[in-house]
Amino acid sequence: MATNLSKKSVSINPLKVSQPLGGTLAMQGFYKSIPIIHGSQGCAAFIKALMTRHFRDPISIQTSALQEMNVIFGGVENLYEAIDNVIEKHDPDIISVLSTSLTEVAGDDIQANIKDYLKKNYRENKLVVGVSLPDFVGSLESGYNQTVDAIVSAVLEQTKSKVPKVRLNQRINLLVGSHLTPADVIELKDIITSYGFEVIAIPDLSTSLSGHLLEGFTPLSRGGVPLDYLEQLVTAKYTIAIGASMQPIAEKIFAYTGIPFQVFPSVTGLLATDALFTFLQSISRENVPLRYMLQRENLVDAMLDAHFYYLGSSAVVALEPDHLYSISSWLREMGVELKRLVTTHHSPVIHNLAEEVVIGDLDDLEVGANKNDVWISNSQGKQGAIRKECSYMPMGFPVYHILGAVHATSVGYRGTLELVNKVGNLLMERKEEHNHESSFFFNE
């Protein structure tokens, strides 16, 4: 179905967040890494505050701290000084310099600046990349994808002379979409390793933002995939991409190394999860592990129990494109009518949805949310759901009004089961409230 661009001249209750935030999120999944926001201090402060509220963990981030005169006369020297200071004080393995609207409008060429810096300052055993991420286009998902793409491209360029003729049959590259929580990544790694594979997750948020306690303090990312392990991606037998937006990166790995890939636009829902397990079974020549057969039976039974509440219900959803496709496909599988779908920016995957998708904000969702049962969006949409008397299901980014957002799982059989029960309970409670009100009115 075609997309419909919101025609409002102003954004009301914005859904999208900036591309640099998406880039910062991606960098948390690489070990001993740090993103440098090339802009004013406020740009980095806002990103850090919002991500800390969502993940409730320290966030690795730095800034070139541009002032007015730096923007007018050029901020390249500030940038070079920021890189030197970060390397001297913190010794990171990976640095990504993320541009902002401020530097993009001023005309800074971030990639050219980084190339010039590296010519003058060779950094052994370090990866330094520049990523152009203006705030006025795209959103979290596109900023995340471009940053992962830049890191992977730099690694492929460094290792192109080391691509082996024989690959490790039991090694899988897992490209992780921006919509997956740290708990989702843990679940996917568990599923793939259960077939005997070793997994290189790119990026790996499961070891950096999953809420584990560590002693001491470091301004660098504490978890994620290490650079020396990341370089082993050229030895993998297959690449699995979760989320349609990760397909260009999988194609780039294939172009450089010849490693075949498989893209899964969604791994939420019975059919989508079946597709993942069928693929893993075909490449491993192993039977489905018993625990996942039992999880599938649990899910099917839960779907049967819940279908009385799902069937005939309606929902409105506002999420990033990959996440929107995944959740909408699952809701349709459960028999829910999708009355309004809103996303942040154009993406090929949303054209695969049967329903019309609005490129807009949470106000556009609220306009189409009359007489609907479930509202699914980030925390910014909670008040709109209350105004429209919809049952509210928090999802996406940011989610800061409840605990455990990073531990929510919605992939695989177990994650889908969790989702079926969460939304099913909302629908059950809504139906009971409606029956109570009807009974009260009848008695009156």
Per-residue pLDDT band for 364 (boundaries 50, 70, 90) equals very high
**Encoded tokens for 272:** 């989508």
Residue 262: is it exposed, middle or buried by C-beta count within 10 angstroms (0-12/13-18/19+)? middle
pLDDT at 74 over 80: no
Q: Whose structure tokens read 């819940």?
A: 306
Of 39-53, 257-271, 421-435, give the range with the top mean pLDDT. 257-271
Pick from 226, 221, 266, 268: which is nearest to 51 by CA? 221
Burial of residue 263 (number of CB atoms within 10 Å: 0-12, 13-18, 19+): middle
Is the pLDDT assigned to residue 154 strictly greater than 70? yes
Measured at the alpha carbon of residue 97, what is the angle toward residues 94 and 101, in degrees to the nearest 5?
A: 155
Residue 375, token pair as written in the block? 């509202």
Determine the Cα–Cα distance for residues 260 and 116; give it in Å rounded to an integer: 34
Of the candidates 311, 327, 321, which has an alpha carbon nearest to the alpha carbon of residue 351? Answer: 321
Q: How confident is the model at residue 440 (pLDDT cuts 50, 70, 90)?
A: very low
How far apart CA 244 and CA 352 sit, in angstroms, is 11
Place of tokens 């194609």: 251
Alpha helices in 206-320 (DSSP H): 227-230, 247-257, 270-284, 290-310
Residue 55 bridge partners (DSSP): none
Instruction: Let me know how many helices (H) and strands (E) the chain has, helices first.
Output: 16, 14
Percent of the chain with pLDDT over 70: 96
CATH number among 3.40.50.1980, 2.40.30.10, 3.40.50.10320, 3.40.50.920, domain 15-159 = 3.40.50.1980
The whole-number pLDDT of residue 72 equals 67
Compute the mean pLDDT over every residue in the chain, rounded to the nearest whole number: 92
Domain 292-436 is of which CATH architecture? 3-Layer(aba) Sandwich (3.40)
| Domain limits, the chain | 15-159, 163-289, 292-436
CA–CA distance, 347 with 375 (Å, rounded to integer): 22
Same CATH topology for 15-159 and 292-436? yes
Would the pTM of this model clear 0.85, i.e. be above it? yes
Work out whether the CA dihedral 398, 295, 271, 262 comes out positive or negative. Answer: positive
The domain 163-289: what is its CATH number?
A: 3.40.50.1980
For 206-232, write each residue's pLDDT tens digit.
999 988 777 778 889 989 999 999 999
* Residue 1 confidence (pLDDT): 58
Q: Mean pLDDT lowest for which of 205-219, 239-253, 343-357?
A: 205-219
